Amino acid sequence: MEAARLALDAAYRPNLEFPPPVGDPKHILDFLRYHVRPCVKSKHRNYAVSSAVRAIDSASINPTSQSWTLRMEDAGELLTGLKQSRHLEGLEWWYRVLWIHYGGLDPVVRSRLDEIATNGDDGVDLKRCRTAVEKEIERVKELDRTAAIGALEDAYNRLTSFVDHWEKVRDDR
């Protein structure tokens, strides 16, 4: 894993103008899954997670719309790992991806997302997530994919409800 971490770190540095293409992200997702496991002790965990997220992010102008982001055995496993790693950059990216694909998630992962949003204890900006869902709705409408819009609007409405809830809680304090 050390060689993979060094290769990813070199290939996907922050603000790199022309990152190499990812192709099939299976190995990058395996790498990411490995580094977010709580039993893995590494002083370079944050760099490893950052590099993997940047690699996945570079795969598209709009990486959150890529269907392969959910080609995992268990999306909830990675969400849990990112949450436990407390690596905010990776967690925010993955959280936005999961919200955009909310309609395609299994009920367990959906309820975990709802719980995280309700508790608000993960440090992720729900407004940014909602903005990402909004952008995806606009993109899907331009492509005239009517079937996908309903699931996206459901995620958007749910996020709006959570954002309104948190703004009310803050105002009541």
Give residue 142's pLDDT.
Answer: 82
> What is the gyration radius of the CA atoms in the chain, in angstroms?
16
| Residue found under tokens 């719980």 | 115
Phi and psi at residue 80, in whole multiples of 5°?
-65, -45
Q: What is the mean pLDDT of residues 89-98?
A: 79
- Whether 68 shows a pLDDT value over 60: the answer reads no
Quick one: DSSP state of residue 144? T
Question: 134 vs 167, which has greater pLDDT?
Answer: 134
What's the structural domain count of the chain?
1
Per residue in 10-46, pLDDT (tens digit) is 888 877 777 787 777 778 888 888 888 877 777 778 7
| Residue found under tokens 């922050």 | 14
Q: What is the mean pLDDT of residues 100-111?
A: 82
Give residue 74's pLDDT.
Answer: 66
Q: What is the mean pLDDT of residues 152-170?
A: 83
Q: Which domain holds residue 22?
A: 2-172
Average pLDDT, the chain: 78
Give residue 38's pLDDT.
Answer: 75
- Whether 70 shows a pLDDT value over 70: the answer reads no
Reported residue count of the chain is 173
> What percent of the chain has pLDDT above 70?
83
- Whether 112 shows a pLDDT value over 60: the answer reads yes
* Inter-residue contact 18 to 26 (CB < 8 Å): no
When mean pLDDT is compared across 3-7, 121-125, 136-140, 150-154, the lowest value belongs to 121-125
